[in-house]
């Protein structure tokens, strides 16, 4: 009897430089023994130095992509990346309700590029919280995104402030919240997971590399892959962080472009 693929659907923007977005997600899924399928929400013109232009796709295009995939292929998990507009948020939220079997949905709260270019209008943030968060098995904001999502003046800087922000985000309806600490001060990265009424803290040494393009995309994609494979939320986060750190470390040995290069997503497959 033939085995079925473990599948993960990514709904996100396209990055032609393949460091982030759909391309990074597909590479991550493949590296973690999952078959990736995609719905593209926008085409970006970008490279390692930044995002130059964004071309959103219309509602009908997104709907047709999504329904073509799910009419033929069973989905074991979903990763949501860059949506870019209030209209796309509404469209994607409605489409997610069409999924069968309630696969885990991981929402990467993409609000700006790593270079600081806004990727979602500020007035669309409340809609993201209202429409998408209640559907999410996990949301994965970094510290600056956490501040924007909670209305804080500054990103939370202490364990107590991060835990308080995670509680506030959980109240929006998401099943779990991972506040990523990579933007924090110091040589250690502290990530806080609020899940099943418990806080789980993960810490690791920061990988000192200039090749960090697509770090957030990769982590959320890896979590989706491990949850598709049946791991619990806590276990999926722990395993995804291990994979991410390996990809950062391996990517530091390579050079691509003139800016922030990509992680080495396929480091486990290359000799």
**Cα angle 71, 8, 175; round to 5:** 105
180, 182, 192, 218: the active-site residue:
180
Would residue 91 show up in a list of annotated catalytic residues for this protein? no
The three-state secondary structure class of 188 is: strand
Would residue 116 show up in a list of annotated catalytic residues for this protein? no
Would residue 214 show up in a list of annotated catalytic residues for this protein? yes
Would residue 28 show up in a list of annotated catalytic residues for this protein? no
The three-state secondary structure class of 192 is: strand
216, 218, 241, 251: the active-site residue:
216
Q: What is the DSSP letter of 18?
A: S
Residue-wise over 48-79: b if at least 16 C-beta within 10 A, else e? beebeebebbebeebbebbeebbeeeebbbbb
Would residue 217 show up in a list of annotated catalytic residues for this protein? yes
Would residue 216 show up in a list of annotated catalytic residues for this protein? yes
28, 48, 109, 215: the active-site residue:
215
The span from the first CA to the last CA of the chain, in angstroms, equals 32
214, 233, 241, 261: the active-site residue:
214
36, 217, 218, 261: the active-site residue:
217
**Residues 196, 49: contact at Cβ < 8 Å?**
no
146, 212, 218, 233: the active-site residue:
212
- Which residues are known to be catalytic? 180, 212, 214-217
């Amino acid at each position: 009897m033939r085995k079925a693929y473990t599948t993960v659907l990514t709904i996100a923007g396209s990055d032609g430089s393949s460091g982030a977005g759909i391309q990074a997600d597909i590479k991550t899924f493949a590296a973690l023994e999952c078959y990736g399928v995609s719905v593209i929400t926008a085409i970006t013109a970008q490279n390692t130095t930044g995002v130059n232009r964004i071309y959103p796709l219309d509602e009908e295009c997104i709907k047709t992509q999504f329904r073509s995939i799910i009419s033929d292929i069973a989905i074991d998990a979903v990763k949501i990346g860059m949506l870019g507009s209030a209209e796309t948020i509404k469209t994607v939220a409605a489409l997610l309700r069409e999924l069968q079997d309630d696969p885990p949905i991981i929402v990467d709260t993409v609000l700006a590029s790593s270079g600081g270019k806004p990727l979602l209008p500020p007035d669309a943030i409340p809609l993201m919280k209202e429409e998408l968060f209640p559907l999410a098995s996990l949301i994965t904001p970094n510290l600056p995104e956490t501040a924007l999502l909670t209305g804080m003046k500054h990103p939370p800087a202490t364990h107590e402030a991060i835990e308080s922000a995670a509680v506030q985000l959980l109240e929006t309806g998401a099943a779990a919240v991972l506040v990523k600490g990579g933007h924090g001060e110091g040589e250690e990265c502290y990530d806080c997971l609020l899940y099943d009424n418990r806080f789980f803290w993960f810490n690791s040494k920061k990988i000192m590399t200039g090749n960090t393009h697509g770090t957030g995309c990769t982590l959320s994609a890896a979590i989706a892959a491990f949850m598709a494979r049946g791991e619990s939320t806590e276990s999926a986060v722990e395993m995804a962080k291990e994979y991410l750190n390996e990809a950062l470390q391996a990517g530091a040995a390579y050079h691509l472009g003139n800016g922030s290069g990509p992680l080495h997503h396929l480091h486990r497959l290359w000799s």
